[in-house]
Amino acid sequence: MKNLILLVGFVLISFAVAEEYTDRYDNINIDEILHNKRLLASYMKCVLGQGRCTPEGKEITVHLKDGMQTGCKKCTQAQKEKARKVANHLKNHEPKFWEDLKHKFDPENSNKATYEAFLASKEYKFSPNRVLMIWQTLALCLLGAVVSSEKYSDKYDKLNVTEVLHNRRLLLGYANCIFERGKCNPDMKFLKDNLEEMFETGCEKCTDAQKRISTEVSNHLIEFERDIWNELMTKYDPEGIWRKKYVERIKQMGINLPTD
């Protein structure tokens, strides 16, 4: 029944709200790029198809193109503001780049009225229908939050954990991050930030992939890296409370806890 409610909710959301681009790069520092000639030139080469693109550069290209051709119809609010800021900066301070941009994305000037109106607008205007759609979406999201359990982000679920476990330098890098003896990269930080809760809840919020990774890592450490395993237990479960509480779940996950 819960799954049915969620399914209906997602279907309604898909009708109520227009598709939007990912907000993954919404926090990119556009001002830093615009006021650094070298950086700006590098991004413009990407946008114009004249050079290599970073992931952020590809995202900016999509938003600028959409801004010029559709008024940024599928952009998030942050993306609209950034696309508007970039285009207006080029128009006023980098006219050569602006002309190149128009030539690439609107060579026939057929979308001029669309992007000029987009650039001139100061804020996003909500229609009554749009407001209703947003309230419907919020209500459905709240419903989904009530009937489904929260899961950790699956952003790092495709991490090649086998490669990490069989490369001692990489493995020690993770251990040093967790035990605060070294720096953390993003996936190390994700693990460190959630590890205590994973122990306390028996990995209740883990995705299936994260449970598989936990099993592989635990069994490897128990068999081949007992010092690291013991240090983990000392840090996160010094009295063995969580291992006792979730012993059945641990067995179901296929983790072979040491008896010594």
Tens of pLDDT, residue by residue over 64-120, are 777 777 777 777 888 788 878 888 888 888 889 888 888 888 888 888 888 788 777
The share of the chain scoring above pLDDT 70, in percent, equals 79
Q: Per 3-state DSSP, what percentage of the chain is helix, strand, and coil (rounded to 5)?
A: 65, 0, 35
For domain 161-252, the CATH class is mainly alpha
State which fold the 2-120 domain adopts.
Antennal chemosensory protein a6 (1.10.2080)
Tokens matching residue 193: 């930030």
Whether 2-120 and 161-252 share one fold: the answer is: yes
Mean pLDDT for the stretch of residues 19-35: 74
CA distance linking residue 225 with residue 89, whole number of Å = 56
- The pTM score is 0.43
* Domain boundaries, given as residue ranges, for the chain: 2-120, 161-252
Mean pLDDT for the stretch of residues 31-60: 82
The pLDDT assigned to 57 comes to 77
Mean pLDDT for the stretch of residues 21-32: 74
The pLDDT assigned to 19 comes to 58
Tens of pLDDT, residue by residue over 159-208, are 888 888 888 888 898 999 999 999 988 888 888 888 888 888 888 888 88
Question: How far from 222 is each of 70, 117, 124, 237, CA to CA, in Å?
Answer: 57, 63, 56, 15
